[in-house]
Amino acid sequence: MTATYLDHAATTVVREEVARAYAEDLQRLGNPSSTHAFGREARRVLEESRESIAADLGAHPTEVVLTAGGTEADNLGVVGAFHGASEGRRAVAVTAVEHPAVLDAARWLGTAQGAEVTELAVDAEGVLDLDGLAAHLARVGERTAVVAVMWANNETGAVQPVAEVVAACAAAGVPVHTDAVQAVGQLPVDFAASGATTLALSGHKIGAPVGVGALLARRDAALAPVLHGGGQERGVRSGTLDAAGARALATALRLAVAEREEETSRLAALRDRLQDGLLALVPDARVRSAGAPRLPGHLFVTIPGTDADAVLFGLDAAGVAASAGSACTAGVTQPSHVLLAMGDDEATARSAVRFTLGRPTTERDVEHVLAVLPEVVARARAAHAPRRATAAAATRLASAAGAGAR
């Protein structure tokens, strides 16, 4: 059994209070869209939850579009904005470090829907290059349907300059979608103050179950539905309304927001202890996005001479759960697209390990990681060295044969 779980950005534990509230409403009979007494009661639960979610995120209840999670909310924010935009706005821009829920939605618009898609550059810290955005908007701002910039990155934890992006886009009349899936509960998130047109959040990152989330969408957001059906949720998100899920999300959010300040300073202190300890044990490891404002519970490091898979395998065997980056792609060995966008070479982008701390994390967890790390890294390096030697020999052979290494 895994004794130390440091993968809270992938998913975190469902809170006791949330599980109780969820269970209570799971067995409630009635479709919130039905007009009989059962339906009305379910609708009451749903609407009270919506009001609570709105209040905790600086939104109006009518701006809360409930979804089945962050991926769906992101797709609606990007694809919905593209299809809802006026005829002349066929361009879409997203930062190169977005989660696949945004990045691949935008790429699909490019390959299948005729969108002109731009992936906006980030700097070496993984933060959007605002001059690049300004130049982009000067060129195609008037033709742009939506710009997407995440509030905080799921791999590095780097916080993006959402306010500056909104200001730049406002001048060109361009709506902004922000993926706040990792930010909610970790940073103060106020939808109205942010000026964003749409904002995505997900329940299972903050102590609600998987399968519930929301898109906050301003009333003037021109969104076309992605799911077609019964026309629920302002006509942009069809599907039977999930009162139990809404209550779970509202309950988790209320707790996360109430405890945020205290909890995040506790997490930041633990993260810093882990970071300092790790650098003392593995001095050539590199903490990524260390020069940017970062989420308090994120530690993303590249470890030269290793493959993340080998490090994760060793950690797992020693009872520590961490990840290589985005959990959604962690099953497939790919270099981190975030690190590639930050200018890393492939080998470095394959050597990244992400530790993310959460509410259950204690000092003991940090000490556990630090106790096992030197051996895990040594083994990963030993496994890596012969492969590197083989690759170098193959390259020498290929150039001797005049093949040229491509």
Ligand X SMILES: Cc1ncc(COP(=O)(O)O)c(C=O)c1O
Per CB under 6 A, does 372 bind ligand X? no
Among 7, 74, 242, 344, binds ligand X (CB under 6 A): 74
Separation between Cα atoms, residue 311 and residue 381, nearest integer Å:
9
Per CB under 6 A, does 202 bind ligand X? yes
Phi, psi of 171 (to 5 degrees): -60, -30
CA 70 to chain centre: 8
Binding mask 117-156 for ligand X (x = CB under 6 A): ---------------------------------x---x--
Residue 78: CB minimum distance to ligand X, A: 11
> In this complex, which beta carbon is closest to ligand X, that of residue 70 or of residue 141?
70
For 324-350, give one letter per residue: b (16+ CB within 10 A) or e.
Answer: bbbeeebeeeebbbbbbbbebeebbbb
Specify the long-range contacts of residues 333-338, CB closer than 8 Å, at least 24 apart. Answer: 333/307, 333/309, 336/155, 337/96, 337/97, 337/103, 338/97, 338/126, 338/153, 338/155, 338/156
Stretch in the footprint of ligand X (CB under 6 A) among 175-183, 186-194, 354-362, 379-387 = 175-183
CB contact set of 335 (below 8 Å; sequence gap of 6+) = 344, 346, 349, 350
Residue 56: CB minimum distance to ligand X, A: 18
CB 270 within 8 A of CB 366: yes
CB 296 within 8 A of CB 268: yes
Among 287, 327, 347, 372, binds ligand X (CB under 6 A): 327
Stretch in the footprint of ligand X (CB under 6 A) among 63-71, 83-91, 283-291, 390-398 = 63-71
Per CB under 6 A, does 242 bind ligand X? no
* Secondary structure E strands in 160-272: 176-179, 198-202, 213-217
> In this complex, which beta carbon is closest to ligand X, that of residue 90 or of residue 337?
337
Per CB under 6 A, does 288 bind ligand X? no
Instruction: Note the residue count of the chain.
Output: 406
| Annotated catalytic residue within 55, 222, 257, 328 | 328
Among 328, 340, 347, 383, binds ligand X (CB under 6 A): 328
Per CB under 6 A, does 49 bind ligand X? no
CB 122 within 8 A of CB 344: no
Size of the site for ligand X (CB under 6 A): 16
Residue 313: CB minimum distance to ligand X, A: 21
Residue 39: CB minimum distance to ligand X, A: 27
Per CB under 6 A, does 287 bind ligand X? no
Per CB under 6 A, does 186 bind ligand X? no
> In this complex, which beta carbon is closest to ligand X, that of residue 299 or of residue 377?
299
> In this complex, which beta carbon is closest to ligand X, that of residue 45 or of residue 103?
103
Separation between Cα atoms, residue 236 and residue 240, nearest integer Å:
13
Per CB under 6 A, does 71 bind ligand X? yes
Neighbours of 179 (CB within 10 A): 32
Concerning whether 328 is annotated as a catalytic residue, the answer is: yes
CA dihedral 122, 125, 131, 132 (to 10 degrees): -10
Q: Which residue numbers are catalytic?
A: 328
Residues near ligand X (CB under 6 A) are 69-71, 74, 99, 101, 150, 154, 179, 181-182, 202, 204, 213, 327-328
